[in-house]
Structure 1
Amino acid sequence: MKIAVEGCCHGDLDAIYGHIAQLEEKNQYKVDLLLVCGDFQAVRNWADLQTMAVPDKYKELKDFRKYYSGEKTAPILTIVIGGNHEASNYMWELYHGGWLAPNIYFIGHAGSIIVNGLRIAGASGIFKAQDFRQGHHEKLPYDKSTMRSIYHIREYCVRKLSLLPSPDIFMSHDWPQQIEHYGDLQGLLRQKKYFKSDIDSGSLGSPPLMGLLRTLKPRWWFAAHLHTRFEATVAHYDEDGAGTEAPAVPVVNPDEIVIDVALDEAGVEHQTPVAVKGSAVLRNPDEIALSDEEGDVAVPPPPKPAPVPSSITQFLALDKCLPKRHFLEVLDIPSPNDTWAQSEASTNPSSPPTLSYDPAWLAITRAFHPNLSLTRTQPAFPDEAYARTLVARELEWVHEHVPPKLDGGWGVRGCQTFVMTAPPLGHGEEGRKAPGRIPQPPWYTNPQTEAFCRMLEIPNKINPPPKGGKTPTPTPTPAQASASTSS
């Protein structure tokens, strides 16, 4: 598959899709999928903009409103995670994942999906230690504190993700902590000198995400947030039960003269010990040994070969969407369904990739749903062994009660269909700056969340219909309204 990866979107969808179209025209290929690594800014109207944690001067309506209302349609299947500058009220409506607009799918606060056989997992938001172990307590209207804490990743999400099978692709907004030591650190510091203090203190990036990288060992990890392009390679080792983390690449002073000395496994300089008549002495490795000494010398064994990694994770972070910035790259990532996809494309060039639920994630969601807290207090989690037992049991339930609905897989479109909940921007309201003070919006019961919870037979804790009331009738898109009128 040809997969386009975008760093921070910041609402500039027209520019991103336009850039992909230019690449397709220039290189004579077709992009199958777009992944957006946060700060997507799914702002539907002026009220949504009041829930986004940015200074007032940045509160601008961008392009998403046109894709939400149906004025435009995303030309490529687009998978999105959340960042730290979002219309958090809308992403909360789709906490478990759902269509933000036609052909634009939000993976959820945490989640995993399958596209043409590729498992793509993701974690929204950024890490803040003070909120990590809390429940999801934020409610509309947000104050200055909860407007920010709502996009801080929770331990609940990380524990669920840690139980997944190894993904092909993992998406995050934050960088995993210390990932900078696995790539060109000096090059990064030349681009972003002010990173040095955070790197020296170990505070750059997210500790839970590095834990997930070591645990899940995905083939690819894509991120954004720090507005620069950076790549790294993390090797994983499984030999003799050793840990999966590769040793961090030491920070090297490029102006330092490096003397060729031997180092032991701890990195300490040493000379080669040689045993002579039962005692150990330090011997100059360049010294010529006389023939009458050779019988007394125990020749050291040859050095062990360097361990071969069992797998590697390729990390790529990208910039935000601006001219002359490295904000998007197109990668060829083989998928299990490539043969099918190529034959399908040959007979139907407009055939889109298939988006399916990940049955492992459905099982994890069911197993952990009782632990989803809507208060500051987060109840204790089951230990890992018991959690995996619960997930295995729920996976059996999923296979029995959630039969595949589309193209031989758990097709998302067989359960969730995009509908508008909040009203789109009205005619004549397209000005880029907010017209005076506008209150935050009410919360909406999203039919997609209701459908997802019905499928898994779990209660909708996110936005259930008001007690004694009905689910609000969603506003139809222009296409839906036209189809209804014609029928």
Structure 2
Amino acid sequence: MKIAVEGCAHGELERIYCTIQEIEQNEDIKIDLLICCGDFQSTRNEDDLCCMAVPPKYRRICSFYKYYNGEKIAPVLTIFIGGNHEASNYLQELPYGGWVAPNIFYLGYAGVINIAGIRIGGLSGIYKANDYLKGRFEKTPYTDSTIRSVYHIRNLDVFRLKQMSQPIDIFLSHDWPAGVYNYGNMEQLLKRKPFFKDDIESDKLGSKPCQDLLHYLKPQFWFSAHLHCKFAALVPHDDNTITKFLSLDKCLPRRHFLQIVNIDHNENEKIQINYDLEWLTILSLTNHLINIKNAITYMPGPGNLERYDFTPTEDEKTLIFQKLGESLKVPNNFKPTALGYNNTSKTNSKQPPAKLNPQTVELCNLIGLDDPLRLVSENSSDSASESKVESDISLQEKIKELKLPEPKHEINNVNMINTAESDGLKIETSIPIKLSPKRSLDGEVRENEEVTKPEVNNGNPSPKKFKRRNAQIYSTESHDS
């Protein structure tokens, strides 16, 4: 199989595909697969640009939207991992991977797939120690902090990858594994990038978790990007195997951003993306370890009563295989979840609300997974509802303190309900209680202000009656508010 490996794509899909087609014509070959090592920038519209952690001057729409809209079709099957310059809101929809456009597949926070017998794994994002042990707590709208922490790798993803027992042929990371420069031409590297010297001498260049995975998984090939230079190395392991490491530059003229490699594959199988059964089983077995809190959480280990080795048994894999209908082919189930760019000027772009992707919903329902984005969104809604209830209870105490006269009319049909239009609770009454226009409960003067009062039983508010919250998250249509 002939595979084109790309460094940082930075949204330049048209240029990358044109380069591949020129290579095919000049060398009379057919490229079977394109692999991109991060900074893919799958920006569908101007709102997605607002979810990228880059200065405004670098927020260019580039050409991905043409493939998302269907104006163009990717001429070669394309897979990619995330980097640190991404439309993070879109990639958050696909934590376990999925199609971002026809023929273009994202591997998720971490993932392993199988293409014609070649096992390809990847880890999205970059390493930052402050966020490594935290959960996936981010959602749009991002703050100045979470717009960056959202693309930082987490210990759960590395833990899951270390449960793999079968050999990996190709592994992708955006970061370089720490210490990999020791196995290549470091002198030449420092001539091109002299400012790497201090980080190399202080052992700060590269990712420690990726270094750990490199020596644990021992893949045949490891491809990276991020540092915008071409660098090759041969990394030996203690069992006499060797990993061929290659990092490539970003897509710019006269830069080494693309490399063609040949890898043996099963010629009896179609070149299509299949689920990796071992990986999906590991996801299912570790589902209970998902963390959505902005707090440190450690993975299980020896010495605890709970299970800590999640390398699946044959029976566990068989169960997942049955849940998949005994087919590992990834369905071509791409569906747009937002409107694509249409070359018209938009001046009111903003970070869009979080949305669930039908591909993720389908996979989660099939094999019993939780979507971290759904969990954190529902948790946010619950927190908002609880705060509203607390506020309502406080409101009643303030009403009592005012010693208002009893209403002349009986109040009936008082309920706390939740609506799709509101993330919180609202209180409905048949007749509102009117406060004096000279005094409001928070000390401000408000004319004709109405305050509603919930039914109280023994001093406690009536039970909450919840309906489906956060309806925008479940919508697959994008509407400007």
Amino acid across the alignment from 1:95: P
Corresponding position of 2:462: none
* Displacement after TM superposition at 1:394 (Å): 3.3
Corresponding position of 2:187: 186
Corresponding position of 1:417: 333
Q: Give the whole-Å Cα distance in 2 for the aligned partners of 1:35 and 1:128.
A: 24
* Displacement after TM superposition at 1:391 (Å): 3.0
Q: Deviations over 1:249-295 (max 9, x none)?
A: xxxxxxxxxxxxxxxxxxxxxxxxxxxxxxxxxxxxxxxxxxxxxxx
Paired positions, count: 382
**1:85-484 pair list within 5 angstroms:** 85-164=85-164, 165-238=166-239, 309=240, 311-335=241-265, 337-338=266-267, 340=268, 353-383=271-301, 386-389=307-310, 391-392=312-313, 394-405=316-327, 410-413=328-331, 417-426=333-342, 428-429=343-344, 435-436=346-347, 438-463=349-374, 468=468, 472=474, 474=476
- Deviating above 4 A after TM superposition, structure 1's stretches of 4 or more consecutive aligned residues are 464-467, 469-473
Aligned partner of residue 222 in structure 1, secondary structure: strand
Q: Give the whole-Å Cα distance in 1 for the aligned partners of 2:475 and 2:141.
A: 22
Q: Give the whole-Å Cα distance in 1 for the aligned partners of 2:366 and 2:177.
A: 33
* Displacement after TM superposition at 1:443 (Å): 1.1
Corresponding position of 1:344: none
Amino acid across the alignment from 1:387: Y
Contiguous gaps of at least 5 residues in structure 1: 239-308, 342-351, 477-487
Please tell me whether the aligned partners of residues 131 and 149 of structure 1 are also in contact (alpha carbons under 8 angstroms). Answer: yes
Q: Deviations over 1:60-82 (max 9, x none)?
A: 11101111111111111100100
Amino acid across the alignment from 2:255: R
Amino acid across the alignment from 1:474: T
* Displacement after TM superposition at 1:423 (Å): 1.3
* Displacement after TM superposition at 1:5 (Å): 0.2
Please tell me whether the aligned partners of residues 371 and 378 of structure 1 are also in contact (alpha carbons under 8 angstroms). Answer: no
Q: Give the whole-Å Cα distance in 1 for the aligned partners of 2:316 and 2:373.
A: 21
* Displacement after TM superposition at 1:389 (Å): 4.8
* Displacement after TM superposition at 1:376 (Å): 1.4
Aligned partner of residue 463 in structure 1, secondary structure: helix
Larger RCO, structure (CA 8 Å, separation 6 or more): 1
Please tell me whether the aligned partners of residues 9 and 38 of structure 2 are also in contact (alpha carbons under 8 angstroms). Answer: yes
Q: Deviations over 1:42-72 (max 9, x none)?
A: 0010001001000111011110111111111
Aligned partner of residue 171 in structure 2, secondary structure: strand
Q: Give the whole-Å Cα distance in 2 for the aligned partners of 1:182 and 1:126.
A: 21
* Displacement after TM superposition at 1:398 (Å): 1.5
Q: Give the whole-Å Cα distance in 2 for the aligned partners of 1:232 and 1:151.
A: 26
Amino acid across the alignment from 1:46: E
Please tell me whether the aligned partners of residues 355 and 476 of structure 2 are also in contact (alpha carbons under 8 angstroms). Answer: no
Contiguous gaps of at least 5 residues in structure 2: 379-466
Please tell me whether the aligned partners of residues 98 and 106 of structure 1 are also in contact (alpha carbons under 8 angstroms). Answer: yes
* Displacement after TM superposition at 1:462 (Å): 2.4
Please tell me whether the aligned partners of residues 125 and 152 of structure 1 are also in contact (alpha carbons under 8 angstroms). Answer: yes
Corresponding position of 2:22: 22
Please tell me whether the aligned partners of residues 364 and 394 of structure 1 are also in contact (alpha carbons under 8 angstroms). Answer: no
Q: Give the whole-Å Cα distance in 2 for the aligned partners of 1:100 and 1:389.
A: 29
Q: Give the whole-Å Cα distance in 1 for the aligned partners of 2:77 and 2:476.
A: 23
Q: Give the whole-Å Cα distance in 2 for the aligned partners of 1:210 and 1:389.
A: 21
* Displacement after TM superposition at 1:472 (Å): 4.5
Q: Give the whole-Å Cα distance in 2 for the aligned partners of 1:209 and 1:472.
A: 35
Aligned partner of residue 286 in structure 2, secondary structure: helix
* Displacement after TM superposition at 1:421 (Å): 0.4
Aligned partner of residue 35 in structure 1, secondary structure: strand
Q: Give the whole-Å Cα distance in 2 for the aligned partners of 1:366 and 1:64.
A: 32
Identity across the alignment (%)? 44
* Displacement after TM superposition at 1:396 (Å): 3.8
Q: Give the whole-Å Cα distance in 1 for the aligned partners of 2:325 and 2:229.
A: 43
Say what the alpha-carbon RMSD is for the aligned residues.
1.9
Q: Give the whole-Å Cα distance in 2 for the aligned partners of 1:132 and 1:472.
A: 29
Please tell me whether the aligned partners of residues 371 and 379 of structure 1 are also in contact (alpha carbons under 8 angstroms). Answer: no
Q: Give the whole-Å Cα distance in 1 for the aligned partners of 2:140 and 2:475.
A: 20
Please tell me whether the aligned partners of residues 167 and 216 of structure 1 are also in contact (alpha carbons under 8 angstroms). Answer: yes
Q: Give the whole-Å Cα distance in 1 for the aligned partners of 2:136 and 2:63.
A: 29
TM-score (norm 2): 0.76
The range that moved more, 464-473 or 77-86, is: 464-473
Q: Give the whole-Å Cα distance in 2 for the aligned partners of 1:390 and 1:217.
A: 17
Amino acid across the alignment from 1:80: F
TM-score (norm 1): 0.75
Q: Deviations over 1:326-366 (max 9, x none)?
A: 0001111112x13x25xxxxxxxxxx612100001101101
Q: Give the whole-Å Cα distance in 1 for the aligned partners of 2:25 and 2:117.
A: 27
Q: Deviations over 1:199-242 (max 9, x none)?
A: 0110000000000000000000000000000000011123xxxx
Aligned partner of residue 462 in structure 1, secondary structure: helix
* Displacement after TM superposition at 1:475 (Å): 5.1
* Displacement after TM superposition at 1:474 (Å): 3.4
Amino acid across the alignment from 1:106: Y
Aligned partner of residue 309 in structure 2, secondary structure: helix
Aligned partner of residue 325 in structure 1, secondary structure: coil
Please tell me whether the aligned partners of residues 126 and 152 of structure 2 are also in contact (alpha carbons under 8 angstroms). Answer: yes
Q: Give the whole-Å Cα distance in 2 for the aligned partners of 1:387 and 1:79.
A: 31
Aligned partner of residue 153 in structure 1, secondary structure: coil
Aligned partner of residue 172 in structure 2, secondary structure: strand
* Displacement after TM superposition at 1:378 (Å): 4.5
Q: Give the whole-Å Cα distance in 2 for the aligned partners of 1:394 and 1:139.
A: 33
